[in-house]
Chains A and B, each alone.
Chain A
């Protein structure tokens, strides 16, 4: 009923330097603990998603396409092989987005947990990095599982195909960081989700060279691909999984584009979190 141990006091107990160096990890640990509450659902989605997509679009639609294009294939390979790296990148992007946007809205708005976290020695920057780190964890196992399914479908032709795993996670990280910054700004999330779903995610998915080479689109629509992290990641993924030709210059362009997006996303996210918490 009473405090049984002797009170030592925070001046003895709390090591602020330790929190300063590891704060983001503490946030990530807590967030991972939350994630574990619905881990089976996440894993289920991570497996069901590629299986269903690869069967329906890859094999079903792919069969028709392969039949009509003949032995030249799409980009020189079977449609399923062409499609799979794009879906891998899309899964990473979707995974990090879910794990950055929802926790951010929850932290600032729905449950206001970020405010109680910020009442500890944790800073806004550490909270934003912690949430971001956890989203990479989700991206990691989503991509690894997806990759396993791709292997089972026999679409990995190159020996260095495994490099598509870090590449997809990198793309997910870039997009997730930017979305986290955006979510940190949100006051009214209802409109955001409508706009995000219909005018951002859907066009990105449809116009990033996911289902057909970007070059087969009219030129005035190709810009959607150029600014889409999904297209950049897909190009890299195709190069790594079956040897799609990417010039060294374009290779740099893809990496630098995703890198800039990541750095900007993390920078603005930390800044926005810090400012909003101090309001």
Chain B
């Protein structure tokens, strides 16, 4: 395999007594879409800020494009496109102006940036909003503009911190589509998310983080295979009865997880398991058979759900 674009060993960041990132190791290769999956406060954004060469690590090593961010911050940032969790757009300027000034921050020539702005407006489906003030845009439009802004310098690595948090399903799908296009063009993507469907859709490979540490690493399918069963049966007996049924249910499958509102049963064949439950004269109020997801991987690794 070629040399990694990003390589971290024992990467640690502390804020006083609090350890936000706790000695993590990872490599990201050119053209891959790499994800950090974990709940809020897992240390994903902190890790992203260190990779983004804006926050300094406490210990460990990290190399981005062959350089140390502590020494070559501006030289590294010149080749990154950053989509922060908060859009941080310039509210006083129009949509096109936001793209233009950002291009100038990279020292790009005026004529080049002007052409690039038209191209990015088309990419972000914001041509009609070209002269609109940013504050009049919807959440999804602002997000697309922030992504377009990050692309103005044609970065080697595009970093997206929680790209679709707070967006409605339709806006999320438009955004995912845009990110797929970039991936097809060979842009290396770095994504943090606490949505398992987003991680499954967008990431070739990911690390599951919790409390600053890496719990597991791999591609979505292999993680599911390694840490969960093929299918999951979700049964609800009513909040007062779920717990009482748990002991009996546990004997019927590989593993169960008791959540406040439902019991998750891990099995290779959900339908067969459901039949077994009915045959045992247990009658859940509702039931659902689904594929295992990264949410189940996280639950298995940490005993907690991603969104609490």
| A residues whose Cβ falls under 8 Å from a Cβ of B | 1-5, 7-11, 13-16, 18-20, 22-23, 26-27, 29-30, 33-34, 37, 111-113, 115-123, 277-279
Once bound together, how far apart are the Cα atoms of A278 and B50, in whole Å?
9
Q: Is the interface of B mostly helix, strand, loop or mixed?
A: loop
Contact of A14 among B88, B101, B107, B125 (CB under 8 A): B107
What are the 5 tightest A-B residue pairs by CB atom distance, in nearest-first order?
A: A119-B82, A121-B74, A120-B105, A18-B107, A19-B107
A83, chain B: closest CB distance, angstroms: 35
Number of A-B pairs, beta carbon distance below 8 Å = 124
Structural contact, A11 and B107, CB atoms closer than 8 A: no
Q: Is the interface of A mostly helix, strand, loop or mixed?
A: helix
Structural contact, A10 and B79, CB atoms closer than 8 A: yes
Given contacts A16-B74, A33-B101, contact A111 B107 (CB under 8 A): no
B interface, how many residues as a size bin?
35 or more
In the complex, chain B residues whose CB is within 8 Å of the CB of A111: 88-91
Within 8 A of A (CB), among B161-217: 181, 185-186
Once bound together, how far apart are the Cα atoms of A221 and B87, in whole Å?
49
**Chain B residue at minimum C-beta to C-beta distance from A22:** B107
Once bound together, how far apart are the Cα atoms of A27 and B106, in whole Å?
11
Given contacts A16-B74, A33-B101, contact A7 B84 (CB under 8 A): no
B122, chain A: closest CB distance, angstroms: 6
Q: Does B269 contact A (CB under 8 A)?
A: no
B294, chain A: closest CB distance, angstroms: 28
Contact of A119 among B77, B107, B108, B115 (CB under 8 A): B77
Structural contact, B79 and A278, CB atoms closer than 8 A: no
Once bound together, how far apart are the Cα atoms of A277 and B55, in whole Å?
8
Structural contact, A30 and B104, CB atoms closer than 8 A: yes
**Chain A residue at minimum C-beta to C-beta distance from B186:** A7
Structural contact, B107 and A15, CB atoms closer than 8 A: yes
A99, chain B: closest CB distance, angstroms: 13
Within 8 A of A (CB), among B135-164: 149, 153-156
Given contacts A13-B153, A16-B75, contact A112 B86 (CB under 8 A): yes
